[in-house]
Structure 1
Amino acid sequence: MIIVDAHCDTITKIMETGEELFNNNCHIDLERMVKAGKYVQFFAAFIDPSYGQAYAMKRAIQIIDRFYGEIEKNISYVSHCKSHDDIIEALNNNKIAAILSIEGGDALQGDLSALRMFYKLGVRSICLTWNHRNEIADGVLDGASGGGLTPFGKKVIEEMNRLGMIIDLSHISEKGFWDCIELTKKPLIVSHSNAKKLCGHVRNLTDEQLYAVKKNGGVVGINFYSRFLRDDGAASQKDILHHIEYMCSIIGTDHIGFGSDFDGIESMPEDMGGIQDIEKIINDLVKLNYSSDDVEKIAGLNFLRVIKA
């Protein structure tokens, strides 16, 4: 079975802790990924707002440089994949397939040429905003302003469609979400968000947003952060299953996947510690009588479909 995780912050995390990607005390390392089998991981270059507009691009370059360094050191175990074909080749060679993404379009600093250069560096997905406003759109914590995509943001959507980059709407304001849905010509993702009906956090999606992702042909990645799973934060693995089951009841099994947010979250369900526990979720889906085809789609094939498109 192919497992795809559409979001983690592990590269940024090991830069902070001084550890390495092969073996560490984080939620993810290559040693555990290899044991998990056929694994596809999106690695995000997270642009923390503390770097400010002036240094956002520099910070993205620093994280991407570290990503490349870890790939080179561990080339026997992992491949940097820039296409669906690259992913299949890596998996057939028993390697982890690593996809490079950026979390926070601040890294573009309002310049489309930066978008094209990041594409040439191997970036294949961009989460347009983090929680706050940037040159592309308002983030969820600025949503009260009613702001959506800026004129520059609309150009970013069009250029990402042209290049073949995956648009990620996690963290964007609701108005920005609807602007992107209306404008994009390609399937998009919400890489690490949950159902607002079950947990009212501002980062989660309304039923109307879930329907829109389905209509677009996109995928929502279930986030493992406790406070996105339950309003009181006292989450267990069962709460991940509740969100999966709820979304399946709303949009079916073709539009749901995993977006763990490993190493970017402060707390996880009490019975989960990292990548080694994703297998538990898959096993529980089988116990709930999901068909093998549906389990494989949720585990990874839905995200692979969007990558291919």
Structure 2
Amino acid sequence: MTGHLATAHALLRRHPLVDGHNDLPWALRTRFGGDLDRLDLAGPVPGTQTDLPRLRRGGVGGQFWSVYVPGTLQGDSAVAATLEQVDLVHRMIRAHPDDLELALGADDVAAAFARGRIASLLGAEGGHSIANSLGVLRVLHRLGVRYLTLTHNVNVPWADSATDVPAIGGLSPFGREVVREMHRLGMLVDLSHVAADTARDVLAVAEAPVVFSHSGARAVCDSPRNVPDDLLRRLAANGGVCMVTFVPDFVSPRCRAWALGLRTEVERRGLDPRDAGVRATVGAEYAAEHPRPRASLAEVADHVEHVRTVAGIDHVGIGGDYDGTDDVPDGLDDVACYPALVAELLGRGWSQDDCVKLVGGNVLRVLREAEAVSRSAAAVRGPSTARIEDLDRP
């Protein structure tokens, strides 16, 4: 493995690794109030899985920083919090100009990488962030947001989430208009977190390749957050990319079973399993009698290989979800560990060319194709003024 690890490091010096999802901005908001004067990203940041030295050691050349806000925020509150997170990422980039550079497209990623900087893209996680407004969607795009995950853990009025009770059976007419407007803008449609039927509805109307920014293969680990094989095949036909996540509950069947056991215990006590504080408190007690299993780097590689087998080498990527999970697989402790995953795949017989596509080539191709679709669409149609109340009448 030592030889493969050296090869992996050399490969990442030549080709940008572009990770699809990192929640450091939310971690900085919750731990430090978003006050960048209270921390130094150029040194170890306590309690996080991400900082600049570890990004450098991990060979990260491009990062989609999530401007996530929780689905408990709705309407104006969700929009305001999302804008604050966008501002936080912009401040983070300005505070470290020798290390981070804002990227608005694929060419910007390549240029930043050539200058020795980490290309910084923004992704919004959950349609609640636009409060049913295509105007807000356009403003987020102007501020640099380059993908929108249509839902987070709960439904939005126009799209069903993978982890909520289905309300509309997929994507509503207004939801289709959101997708259409995103294609006109050149914003990637992100299907992580959405219900399978929502994803199927999106793929039926998509004009450009879509992404799953941080999801696994459901055939490897049966979680609703993972992508079933029929969708992986349709994703390949669409030209999109499934960026494999490192979240243990989505990676390891043993971790998934443990999480379901914890949920059962929370519900037995009459508590809300969606409450993170409740899960943490009950989880500590539950783990005392039921030790939490560990996911492994090899299991993540199994997901990567399954996506390649079903969808093809042109349709797989990496979306670790660092700082969006309190647990990570052994061997993938933080953002410094990406070379270990590349080394594992090289050891399984992957070619260097295949690894280049995995680490960033595929998602950069998707960005370029979305940009081309945007140029064509914007030439024939203007901004949509559709309103949810007009399209989604009861």
| Structure 2 counterpart SS, 1:46 | coil
How many Å apart are 1:37 and its aligned residue?
Answer: 3.7
| Gap change, CA 1:198 and 1:146, over 3 Å in 2 | farther
1:5 aligns with 2:19: yes
Unmatched 5+ stretches in structure 2: 1-14, 33-38, 256-293, 370-394
State the aligned residue count.
309
1:261 aligns with 2:321: yes
| Structure 2 counterpart SS, 1:162 | helix
Unmatched 5+ stretches in structure 1: none
| Gap change, CA 1:232 and 1:38, over 3 Å in 2 | closer
Task: Output the CA distance in 2 between the equivalents of 1:27 and 1:65.
Answer: 21
Aligned to 1:250: 310
| Gap change, CA 1:198 and 1:36, over 3 Å in 2 | closer
More displaced 10-residue stretch of structure 1: 228-237 or 24-33: 24-33
Aligned to 1:104: 126
How many Å apart are 1:254 and its aligned residue?
Answer: 1.0
How many Å apart are 1:175 and its aligned residue?
Answer: 1.4
More displaced 10-residue stretch of structure 1: 22-31 or 77-86: 22-31
Aligned to 1:177: 199
- Residue pairs, 1:193-272, within 5 angstroms: 193-233=215-255, 234-272=294-332
TM-score by length of 2: 0.76
| Structure 2 counterpart SS, 1:43 | strand
Choose from 146, 154, 158 the match for 1:132.
154
| Structure 2 counterpart SS, 1:140 | coil
Deviations 1:164-202 (A, max 9, x none): 001100001111111100111000000111111111111
Aligned to 1:95: 117
Equivalent residues of 1:143, 1:174 under 8 A apart: no
Task: Output the CA distance in 2 between the equivalents of 1:130 and 1:20.
Answer: 30
Equivalent residues of 2:22, 2:323 under 8 A apart: yes
| Structure 2 counterpart SS, 1:192 | strand
Deviations 1:123-149 (A, max 9, x none): 111101002111331111235445211
Deviations 1:219-266 (A, max 9, x none): 001110111011221311110111112222212211111000110012
Equivalent residues of 1:106, 1:129 under 8 A apart: yes
Q: CA RMSD in A?
A: 1.4
Choose from 361, 364, 367 the match for 1:301.
361
How many Å apart are 1:300 and its aligned residue?
Answer: 1.1
Aligned to 2:97: 75
> Identity, % of aligned pairs?
30
AA of the residue aligned to 2:365: R
1:119 aligns with 2:119: no
- Residue pairs, 1:282-301, within 5 angstroms: 282-301=342-361
AA of the residue aligned to 1:95: R
How many Å apart are 1:49 and its aligned residue?
Answer: 1.9
- Residue pairs, 1:133-148, within 5 angstroms: 133-145=155-167, 147-148=169-170
Task: Output the CA distance in 2 between the equivalents of 1:52 and 1:22.
Answer: 34
Task: Output the CA distance in 2 between the equivalents of 1:280 and 1:206.
Answer: 26
TM-score by length of 1: 0.96
Deviations 1:9-50 (A, max 9, x none): 111111111145433131111222233345110001112023
| Structure 1 counterpart SS, 2:233 | helix
Task: Output the CA distance in 2 between the equivalents of 1:147 and 1:59.
Answer: 29
Larger Rg: 2
| Structure 2 counterpart SS, 1:88 | helix
More displaced 10-residue stretch of structure 1: 243-252 or 21-30: 21-30
AA of the residue aligned to 2:330: E
| Gap change, CA 1:300 and 1:158, over 3 Å in 2 | same
1:189 aligns with 2:211: yes
